[in-house]
Amino acid sequence: MAATNKPTREKLAEYLADPNKFDCGIAIFNSNVMTKAYDIKKGRFCPPVRVSLFGKGWDKLFDDAEKAVSQPSEQPTSSSTSSEPSKLHFTIDIDQFPAFEPLLLDLSSTKKLTVDNRLYIKQCTGKDYLSVKVNMHQPAKQNPESFLSKRISLVAPVTKENITPKSSSMRILSGSTVAFCNKIPRSSQIRYMHFSSDGLLNLSVDNWSSFTICLVDENSAHGEEKDVKLKEGEINYGSIVKLLDRATCFWLPRMRIMNEIKGVIPLDQIIDQKKRVCELQKSALQSLDNRYMSNQGNEIKKIYVTALNDVMDEIEPSEKWAIMSIDETKYRFYEAMGPVSDPVTPVPTIIGIKPKKTANSDGTPITLVEFTGSNFRKDHNIWFGLHELIQHSNEPNCITCVLPTYDEVLRPREVSFSKTDSELNYPVTITRNDGVIYGTSYYFLYNVGDGSCCAAMVNPLTEFIDPTRLRRI
């Protein structure tokens, strides 16, 4: 464990005033399910893994790495490492298969997003899940720093028939992140729905867009776009949905997601809406003027299809879209007190916050707040705003602290925190004793009037419209 050099309150205040100015963030996007295809030797990721860097802290980190490379090194260079890039770089591999050679990622100070089409798994492994691992290699550090994706489940090929009511993990929920692909028979290439840099929706074989899919309140379906109301819950076939491109924050027009049965679209599902949408199934996307989104070469066009009768439409494979649920894993770190010798990974991650009432050993009542997650260490500290919490217990998957009162949290005033509906929102931050700050997406809310409090997080339904809008948990 490194020497103590805890972030000062002044450094933390500077960070909280504008986290994006200091953050080094890394995001890994991947499907949360991968199909086991037993008839082929290699299984490719569909869609391919996408990795992006965010936050302005990377500018300094890349610059510091360039300076470190320019300094003469006293360490001998072995033949095994001489072929490695000496500058800050990234590789990707699969955590469960350490024998695989890591692949160099096309990321740099000027290119902050890449899609890797080379990663694959051997289908004979017999494993039930895997995780993608992105490794950061810094010239000043001997070992790589690794960032894991969320687990990807390996499942048998999915059909509409083998989805059961128990397959809840396969259902598509409003507010979740999805991607769409289309494959025409006799074509070896899968094409993904993708928003280009010029804002046009098209098809791509080597890039893809992730969308937030949202249920639309049908009572507002015929109003102006600004009046459309979104709601939570499971998405059923026949429902009206909207898709928000997570990169451009552009909304696609409202559409229905339709169940297809051997190329036939039963139109009674618009009324019934009984069958749940599940990932990896093929569906059709019907606009409200009854046209269907279609793969027309490398373009997506809305076309009218053949009406078999008043209650059934017939579509071609070019109108069949597979829907895939996408997981996004984000990590943020900032070496606030200067470069640290220890790896910044594994990054401590919070997945839940829950206050609980208990009693001390002498019977005195006490209110604690429990943080569940992963990769917690004894030298980690948790802050509400600029107030450091007093730890009650510290385990790798759970840290319990004394819940501070509103007056205690309010006392440090170096930063003005956001206030909504008579509540002050304090960001939850983790620090490490050697000077690393880890930002999170969690907040703790205090009512200005009565001092009551609760935990909250950035609402995924509105994250890309209004990142300050929170959802209580």
Q: What is the pLDDT along the chain (473 residues), one digit of tens a residue?
A: 556 899 999 999 999 999 999 999 999 999 998 876 555 556 778 899 999 999 999 999 999 888 877 766 555 444 334 445 578 999 999 988 776 789 999 999 999 999 998 888 876 556 788 999 999 999 989 899 999 999 998 887 666 555 554 456 688 999 899 999 998 887 778 999 998 877 789 999 989 999 999 998 777 655 455 556 778 899 999 999 999 898 888 889 999 999 999 999 999 999 988 899 998 889 999 999 999 999 998 789 999 999 999 999 999 999 999 999 999 999 999 999 999 999 999 999 999 999 998 888 888 889 999 999 999 999 999 999 999 999 999 999 999 999 999 999 987 666 678 777 788 999 999 999 999 999 999 999 999 888 889 999 887 666 666 666 788 88
Residue 291 lies in a domain: yes
Residue 217 lies in a domain: yes
Residue 11 lies in a domain: no
Domain boundary, last residue among 121, 156, 191: 156
Q: Do 322 and 353 share a domain, yes or no?
A: no
For position 343, which CATH number holds?
2.60.40.10
Query: Domain limits at 384?
Result: 339-457
> Quick count: other Cβ atoms within 10 Å of Cβ 405?
14
Q: Do 321 and 234 share a domain, yes or no?
A: yes
Residue 472 lies in a domain: no
Q: Do 203 and 255 share a domain, yes or no?
A: yes
Q: Do 192 and 318 share a domain, yes or no?
A: yes
> Quick count: other Cβ atoms within 10 Å of Cβ 293?
22
Residue 274 lies in a domain: yes
Residue 30 lies in a domain: yes
Q: Do 321 and 357 share a domain, yes or no?
A: no
Q: How many domains does the chain have?
A: 3
For position 295, which CATH number holds?
2.80.10.50
Residue 191 lies in a domain: yes
Q: Do 345 and 378 share a domain, yes or no?
A: yes
Q: Do 345 and 323 share a domain, yes or no?
A: no
Domain boundary, last residue among 99, 127, 156: 156
**pTM reported for the whole predicted model:** 0.89
Q: Do 314 and 370 share a domain, yes or no?
A: no
